[in-house]
Amino acid sequence: MTKEIVIENTIQFVKKELQNAEGGHDWFHIERVFKNTLLIAKDEKVDVFIVSLAALLHDIADAKFNNGDESVGPKLAFNFLKTQQVNTATINHVVNIIKHISFKNSFDKNEEKFTSKELEVVQDADRLDAIGAIGIARCFNYGGFKNRALYNPDILPNLTMTKEAYKKSTAPTINHFYEKLLLIKDKMNTKTGYKIAEKRHVFMETFLSQFYNEWEGAK
């Protein structure tokens, strides 16, 4: 089976698996991450087949929608890639990327470490989709999905939270900007990713300024 066929089969598999997914974690999220992965990969020495598969499968079963179980996605990806006759080394690399891509892992300093240039590229592509205009839309979409308040001035962002606290947070959506989105720019791994993130970061700052002005009332 050629790599092109495996990629196409993976696309069809992911589309089917995510057809009823929450709007911020649906096929279109995967597609954007896939495109940004290929864009960033042009300037990095990486295995394009590995980053392509990892980008397509990175959110195949997000723990947020599986009772917090972080093993579901990697297992699903592993089993699928086995059916595509992908070699074991490639499968293991892709699965490790899926296991370690999440932003929440950065809160836990004791988290098992895995590093590779391929992880850095896919991680940057995924993080880019969490910021800027799309990131803002996804943030509020998920907040609505979880029935969270837009903003509450009496509930301050928690800037020292652990991974578990982050996973269990029910704070207003605006707090998420300070607990994650505004931190992303300085966590980018690649030059290309950072350059794109800078522009999206500025857009979020402008949005927040406008949001607070409107919250206080027309002036």
Q: Would you state the pLDDT for residue 160?
A: 84
Q: Would you state the pLDDT for residue 141?
A: 94
pLDDT tens digit at each of 219 positions of the chain = 899 999 999 999 999 999 988 888 899 999 999 999 999 999 999 999 999 999 999 998 665 555 556 778 899 999 999 999 999 999 999 999 999 998 766 655 555 689 999 999 999 999 999 999 999 999 999 999 989 999 999 999 998 877 777 777 889 999 999 999 999 999 999 999 999 999 999 999 999 999 999 998 865
Q: Would you state the pLDDT for residue 72?
A: 84
Look at residues 114, 148, 111, 127 and name the one whose alpha carbon lies nearest to residue 190: 127
Q: Would you state the pLDDT for residue 81?
A: 97
Q: Would you state the pLDDT for residue 108?
A: 58
Q: Would you state the pLDDT for residue 106?
A: 63
Looking at every residue in the chain, the average pLDDT score rounds to: 91
Among the CATH numbers 1.10.3720.10, 1.10.3210.50, 1.10.10.10, 1.10.645.10, which is that of 3-216?
Answer: 1.10.3210.50
Q: Would you state the pLDDT for residue 163?
A: 72
Q: Would you state the pLDDT for residue 20?
A: 87
Distance CA 187, CA 103 (A): 9
